[in-house]
Structure 1
Amino acid sequence: MAVSLQKGQKISLAKEAGGELNRVKLGLGWDVATQNVPQKSGLLGKLFGGGVGGDSIDLDASCIMFDANKQQVDAIWFSQLQSKDGSITHSGDNRTGAGDGDDEVINVDLSRVPSNVTALVFTVNSFTGQSFDSVANAYCRLIDANNNNEVARYDLSAQGNHTALIMAKVYRHNNEWKMHAIGEIATGRTFHDLMPAIVPFV
């Protein structure tokens, strides 16, 4: 059974999975809130959604790779769907959050992550600019890619007037991979805007 993470909690991936994890998937899911969402009309409404009943929110998941000096090594996001070393791939941009299950998935082959990379930080941004007041049922979950078993889930009580979340970190510690549920709110349309807020958690 998957661990239900609380903000600030840290777990060992191998311990929770019952053995060494080599390939994992981080899935992100969300829905458009059905209340407290301001209606938008005209051209801006068509461009950016808002409201309910078929409108959409474009949340974007990103993964930023850091070295031991807290310097960015690479980033995987909707404009670069694969890390330069090939160890991390992004499923692609889901612009609506419609449907059940994970809306965006980042695949990580931990055995291929370069040795100089010590931390992977996962973020989510509202690219269309709506605040998280418009978002419901947001979560991230870590899945063992070998058997699709869910290892850990972090339900994000994310509603508020912010436009981004620093979700979680997967990091090396004493030659094993661990996960840290961060859940810090932030502001920005892409991960670039979040870097000053991310670095203290690396």
Structure 2
Amino acid sequence: MSVNLSKGQKISLDKEAGTGLGKIIMGLGWDAVKSKGFLGFGRSAPEIDLDASCLLFDEQGSLLDTVWFRQLGSRDGSIVHTGDNRTGAGDGDDEQIAVDLGRVPANVKSLVFTVNSFTGQDFSQIENATCRLVDASNNKEVARFNLTMTGGHTAQIMAKVYRHNGEWKMHAIGEAGSGRTFNDLLPQITPHL
């Protein structure tokens, strides 16, 4: 059974999955808000290009590597981005980042997942935005976090997956930000490391 996380909530991934997790998938899904047309009939939704990224940090908070639409895999091969979805069209996850937890180098303490509106629309134009963590061995959802927030922000620090006392945990951060790529969020990420 999946856990619906609230902002700031932390969970043990192994306890929630009921087993030691080896591989996980962080899925990002969204839909564009349909505008009302003449006489209230809906017009097609605009294309919105949200981008999921994964940033790898060490114990000191130094950025070691990044996985995003311009670099689809970590240098060590433990993390892979499935590719850029530029519209949010379709059901389910629009972008996914797969992580082989057993292959993540020992010097990596935390993985921070972000989402940015590359096309610049703010989150008031986006609905049904969620990130979810899935056990890759059986495609079972472990946790879900609702990202839909009102406001003029164009980015969000979604969640952090981190090592603590020999196990992996997840922290739903949900902090709004601004910027077209993860680089713009780096100053905001630092306090969460």
Q: Report the secondary structure of 2:109's partner residue.
A: strand
2:67 equivalent in structure 1: 76
Residue 119 of structure 1, CA deviation = 0.2
* Deviation per residue, 1:89-134 (Å, 9 max, x gap): 0010000000100000000000000000000000000000111111
Q: Report the secondary structure of 1:16's partner residue.
A: helix
Q: Which runs of 5+ in 1 are unaligned?
A: 37-50
Q: Report the secondary structure of 1:157's partner residue.
A: coil
Tell me how large the CA RMSD over aligned residues is: 1.2
- 1:3 equivalent in alignment to 2:35: no
Runs ≥4 in structure 1, deviation > 4 angstroms? none
Query: Residue 134 of structure 1: which of 122, 125, 140 is its match?
Result: 125
Query: Residue 166 of structure 2: which of 175, 188, 194 is its match?
Result: 175
* Deviation per residue, 1:44-75 (Å, 9 max, x gap): xxxxxxx9505200000000000000000000
Quick one: distance in 2 between partners of 1:166 and 1:141?
14
Quick one: distance in 2 between partners of 1:80 and 1:197?
22
Query: Structure 1: which amino acid aligns with 2:128?
Result: N
Quick one: distance in 2 between partners of 1:157 and 1:139?
7
- Describe the shift of the 1:121–1:52 C-alpha distance in structure 2 as closer, same or farther (beyond 3 A): farther
Query: Residue 76 of structure 2: which of 85, 101, 104 is its match?
Result: 85
2:39 equivalent in structure 1: none
Aligned 8 A contact 1:169 1:182 in 2:
yes
Percent of matched pairs sharing the same residue: 64
Aligned 8 A contact 1:135 1:159 in 2:
no
Q: Report the secondary structure of 2:111's partner residue.
A: strand
How many residues are paired up? Answer: 188
TM-score, reference length from structure 2: 0.95
Q: Report the secondary structure of 1:117's partner residue.
A: coil
Q: Which runs of 5+ in 2 are unaligned?
A: 37-41
- Describe the shift of the 1:147–1:25 C-alpha distance in structure 2 as closer, same or farther (beyond 3 A): same
Query: Residue 150 of structure 1: which of 141, 145, 151 is its match?
Result: 141
Residue 158 of structure 1, CA deviation = 2.1
